[in-house]
Every structure is written in C-alpha cells, then in structure tokens.
C-alpha cells in the first residue's frame, strides 16, 4: 500500500540500481546512508530456495555490514523456511561454527554444517548473548512514566477511517 511515486522510487533505488549498498549514494530525509557505518550486531538469515530474497542476496549482506555478524541459511523457501517454529521439528538450517564469512556464499557453504530443525533456537541463543539482563515486565503501564494511559485498548485512533 505504498503511494505510487514512493513505490517507483523504492523499486528504482533498492532493486534496479541497488543504491542502498553503495556508500552515501542513497539519501533519505536529507541523510546519506552508508550501511558500512552500522556496527550493531546482525543476525542475517537467508532461505536456500527463497524467491523473494534470493539466498545470494541475503548472504551479500555479510559483506556490507561491519558489526558482529552471524549468517544462517535455512532450508526451503521464503515462508516455510522462516515460519516453521522449533516445536514442529521441520526443515533444517546450516551454520558455520567457525564464524567465518568468506566473500561468496559458495565458500561459506563449504564450511557450513547442516542442523536438523528450526533455526529459531540458534537465533534465540544469539539474541541471549547480545541482550542485557532480564527484567520483569511491568505489572501496569504508565506508572511513573510521562506516557499516561489515554483510554482502554484498542483506542479510538485504531477505529478511525483513513
């Protein structure tokens, strides 16, 4: 549901010209974007038979971002490879235990090992390593906050027609 001019801009810049990965080539709201300046940890997932995000495109992200990265390749396509939860015990995924991210997917695959089941458990473990200490969820919301409860959910703004 993107407006036509924005959709055309998006397709041209993200797909046709691939400007997002070119340092300072893309400007959004007056700010130049250079993905190489992002040093946050990144868990990069790609599905082996994905028709929306081809696996080589997903893997190419490992060569652009500069922070701590982990790449995992899942079996199947865009939907089945992503949404199968661990309890289903379906599919499989590949990981390189040495953490190496060579220049090509083919080189990465040579050192990767297949693991049965969902990649979600690996992701959960990775998230835990990159998270702070666990704190209990608040029992009520708005207490001591400058953001007070306006009205019961879902709120009138949800019911407004566009």
Q: For the chain, give the mean pLDDT.
A: 91
Cα-Cα-Cα-Cα torsion 81, 85, 88, 91, nearest 10 degrees, comes to 20
Q: How many CB atoms are located within 10 Å of the residue 72 CB?
A: 20
What pLDDT is attached to residue 143?
Answer: 64
pLDDT of 52 strictly over 80: yes
């Amino acid at each position: 549901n993107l407006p036509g001019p924005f959709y055309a801009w998006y397709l041209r810049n993200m797909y046709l010209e691939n400007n997002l990965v070119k340092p300072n080539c893309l400007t959004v709201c007056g700010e130049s974007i250079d993905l190489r300046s992002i040093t946050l940890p990144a868990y990069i997932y790609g599905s082996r038979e994905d028709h929306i995000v081809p696996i080589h495109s997903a893997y190419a992200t490992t060569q652009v971002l500069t922070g701590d990265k982990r790449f995992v390749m899942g079996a199947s396509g865009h939907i089945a490879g992503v949404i199968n939860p661990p309890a289903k015990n379906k599919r499989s995924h590949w990981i390189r235990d040495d953490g190496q991210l060579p220049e090509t997917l083919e080189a990465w695959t040579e050192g990767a090992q297949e693991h049965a089941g969902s990649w979600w458990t690996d992701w959960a473990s990775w998230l835990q390593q990159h998270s702070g200490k666990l704190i209990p969820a608040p029992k009520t919301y708005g207490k001591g906050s400058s953001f007070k409860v306006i009205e019961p959910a879902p709120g009138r703004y949800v019911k407004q027609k566009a």
